[in-house]
Amino acid sequence: MLLKPTRSGRFGFQPVTEDEPYDIDAAWNSANADLLSELRSRHIGYVLQSGGLLPYLTVRENISLSRRLLHLETKEAADYWADRLNISAQLDKLPQKLSVGQRQRVAIARALAHEPTVVIADEPTASVDPVNAERIMELMVRLADDIGVTLIVASHAHELMQRVGLRMIEHEVDLGEGDSMHVTVSDVAS
């Protein structure tokens, strides 16, 4: 069971979700795509390797996407997160006008804007240079910590993840036929 923790409108925005328990196993087993979609939209934020921004939407629209889906206020939230991620000047630009680092910041803003329970980041620093990678990770960890979001990061940059305070979790995945693979999962204590 994944329970949405109660929040008290930290930034003056409407609470994202109500306190409803979700039976993830049941949703997964029933292959109820719409229920899983709702679950993702309410409780999970994603940061993809290349940002995963929609190229025909502006930065503001990209950031607002997750909140719009939940019928939440968007303008103030977009301004707030753009300010926190230092991309306010880019709000009305299309993603193609941004640097790779800026795109990742927009992706982080989108992932956090609806204050999800969990943010899953898949190689969020793979496309940027080491200096930017450090900055982006520090920022993401700080913001996640600020709003009490669990951050799950898949990354090859083990040292960087440890430097920014993420806890490493290693486990073995059974690939069948005698093969196995070691996977390290990092998270930050919320």
Interacting residues with another protein (CB under 8 A): 33-34, 36-42, 44, 46, 48-50, 52-56, 65-66, 69, 110, 122
Query: For residues 130 and 156, is the Cβ–Cβ distance under 8 A?
Result: no
CB of 71 to another protein, least distance (A): 12
Nearest distance from C-beta of residue 138 to another protein, angstroms: 22
Comparison of 33 and 189: residue with beta carbon closer to another protein: 33
Q: How far is the CB of 120 from another protein (least distance, A)?
A: 8
For 70-182, where are the alpha helices, taking DSSP H only? 75-84, 100-113, 130-147, 158-163
Q: Which helix (H) or strand (E) holds 173?
A: strand 167-176
**Choice between 13 and 86, CB closer to another protein:** 13
Q: Could you write out the DSSP letters of every residue in 65-93?
A: HHHHHTT---HHHHHHHHHHTT-GGGTTS
For another protein, the closer of residues 107 and 141 by Cβ is: 107
